[in-house]
Amino acid sequence: MPDQSLTVLEKVVALAKRRGLIYQGSEIYGGLAGTWDYGPLGVALKNNLKNLWWRHFVTGREDMYGLDAAIIMNPKTWEASGHAAGFADPLTVDGKTEKFNTMFKTQVGATGDEALTSYLRPETAQGMFVNFKNVVDSFHPKLPFGLGQIGKAFRNEIAPRDFVFRSREFEQLEVEYFVRPTDWEKQFEEWRQVMWQWIELIGLPKDLVHELEVPETDRAHYSKRTIDFEFDYPFGRKELYGLAYRGDYDLAQHQAASKVDLTYFDEETKERFLPHVIEPSLGLDRTILALLTSAYTEDDPPAGGGDEVRVYLKLKPEVAPITVAVFPLLKNKPDLVAKAREIFSFLKVPTLRSGPRLYVGTISFDDNGNIGKRYRRQDEIGTPYCVTIDFQTLEDGTVTLRHRDTGEQERLAVSALIDRLS
């Protein structure tokens, strides 16, 4: 039974470790603050979100190009972007404030004087800006067009906190969308709608998401307009996503520093200019935290019967680490186990059967513990459906399909499973 004295965040942190979603980084050595390791189910959740984002923001559009830029870049990149001089947080020591640059330094090449001091990137955006010319030369895209990237970023946070909300290593989902200077307001509004569609797609409750028009005094130095999408986390309303109009700041800075012409020639108007940029920026780890805390549900009294409080993650099937769990009613009955394995393979292995298919890798076989414990375990990790093979299955080829949120069970033929689950 859940400890009612714990906060929702504490319960989610405990569940995440217990069920193999998220572990403390380097835990056996006492951990390392601000670092987190994603376990088998956490990786599955992450990959589901990344795949959905890639389809929604990149491959589902005709005006987007994917990119995967290097994490370590020429240090001149960070001088041009302003990070080397201005990417700092205030640090108070002995009552006095000094500026602390939050970029991680690293040495490239041989040690000593021959080594080149660079940094682990604090954001993924600059890799897209320095590759702008390469993509234009390779693909000759027409404006507007964008670059999309999923990747790790690193910030030496002074005080990492709130589980994976603020950590020293995190993953970003970002777009840099290049537009004509006169079109930025129209494109800004279109991307605002795309981000709301994403929020709905992954199942974040819309009433927990709020837009904040960031005032000029609080905007980043490059931004001419920014909207923060804030989320009601258990520890307060905090930034989840950002949508920024960066103007031509980044391309202008890199053009001046590199002495490479980064202007775009518009075939329609016969003009040459630096495009302006709209940036939808999404944090993957913050998305996962928002999903876990909003999906965490205690069902008392539990749907489907029983006395103990039932805990489950109310995740959409599209993002849940496991979509369907298959298990025999009893694991000590060879006939039931064999039939369960047969049906598991039927669901998991792609064939030429007609009809939509479930993604390979989202089907799990579970025969650990009694049937009640299996249901509870699958509920806790957010599995939407459980398929149970029992003695009636051996007689008439039907199975029991259990629905996570309601606890309802229905009887249907194995041949109807694919269509029903789809």
* Element counts in the chain: helices (H) and strands (E): 13, 22
The pLDDT of residue 411? 95
| Rounded mean pLDDT, 213-227 | 87
Please count the other Cβ atoms lying within 10 Å of the Cβ belonging to residue 418.
16
Residue 285: burial class (beta carbons within 10 Å; 0-12, 13-18, 19+)? buried
The pLDDT of residue 95? 54
Q: Give percent of the chain with pLDDT exceeding 70.
A: 90
Confidence of residue 360 (pLDDT cuts 50, 70, 90): very low
List the CATH code of the domain at 322-421.
3.40.50.800
Contact 363/373 with Cβ under 8 angstroms?
A: no
Confidence of residue 353 (pLDDT cuts 50, 70, 90): very low
Confidence of residue 102 (pLDDT cuts 50, 70, 90): confident
CA dist., res. 389 & res. 346, Å (int): 13
- How does pLDDT run across 309-334, given as a tens digit for each residue? 899 999 999 999 999 999 999 999 99
- When mean pLDDT is compared across 141-150, 257-266, 349-358, the lowest value belongs to 349-358
Phi, psi of 265, rounded to the nearest 5 degrees: -95, 120
Q: Is pLDDT at 358 greater than 60 in this prediction?
A: no
The pLDDT of residue 74? 92
Q: Is pLDDT at 373 greater than 80 in this prediction?
A: yes
| Rounded mean pLDDT, 232-254 | 96
CA dist., res. 289 & res. 236, Å (int): 13
Q: Which residues pair with 237 in a beta bridge?
A: 232
Please count the other Cβ atoms lying within 10 Å of the Cβ belonging to residue 275.
24
Pick the closest to residue 194 from 267, 270, 325, 282 (CA basis).
282
Q: Give percent of the chain with pLDDT exceeding 90.
A: 75
Q: Is pLDDT at 4 greater than 70 in this prediction?
A: no
H or E segment and range at residue 313: strand 310-313
- How does pLDDT run across 374-417, given as a tens digit for each residue? 999 999 999 999 999 999 999 999 999 999 999 999 999 988 88
Please count the other Cβ atoms lying within 10 Å of the Cβ belonging to residue 350.
9
Contact 257/250 with Cβ under 8 angstroms?
A: no
Higher pLDDT, 322 or 100: 322
The pLDDT of residue 233? 97
Q: Is pLDDT at 357 greater than 60 in this prediction?
A: no
The pLDDT of residue 416? 87
The pLDDT of residue 92? 43
Amino acid (one-letter) located at 404: R
Higher pLDDT, 125 or 419: 125
pTM assigned to the model = 0.91
- How does pLDDT run across 147-189, given as a tens digit for each residue? 999 999 999 988 899 999 999 999 999 999 999 999 999 999 9
CA dist., res. 47 & res. 44, Å (int): 5
The pLDDT of residue 309? 87
The pLDDT of residue 2? 63
The pLDDT of residue 223? 82
CA dist., res. 320 & res. 22, Å (int): 14
Q: Where are the domains of the chain?
A: 8-70+121-292, 322-421
The pLDDT of residue 1? 56
CA dist., res. 314 & res. 291, Å (int): 9
Please count the other Cβ atoms lying within 10 Å of the Cβ belonging to residue 63.
13
The pLDDT of residue 354? 45
Q: Which residues contact 309 (CB under 8 A, 6 or more apart)?
A: 1, 2, 298, 299, 300, 302
Q: Which residues contact 381 (CB under 8 A, 6 or more apart)?
A: 19, 21, 41, 313, 320, 321, 322
Higher pLDDT, 223 or 389: 389
The pLDDT of residue 305? 61
The pLDDT of residue 157? 87
The pLDDT of residue 96? 61
Q: Which residues contact 375 (CB under 8 A, 6 or more apart)?
A: 386, 402
- How does pLDDT run across 61-77, given as a tens digit for each residue? 999 999 999 999 999 99
153: three-class secondary structure by DSSP: strand
| Rounded mean pLDDT, 271-282 | 97
Q: Is pLDDT at 348 greater than 70 in this prediction?
A: yes
CA dist., res. 68 & res. 70, Å (int): 7
Q: Hey, what CATH topology would domain 8-70+121-292 get?
A: BirA Bifunctional Protein; domain 2 (3.30.930)
| Rounded mean pLDDT, 204-232 | 92
CA dist., res. 100 & res. 389, Å (int): 60
Specify whether the backbone of 82 is left (phi greater than 0), alpha (psi in -120 to 50) or beta.
left
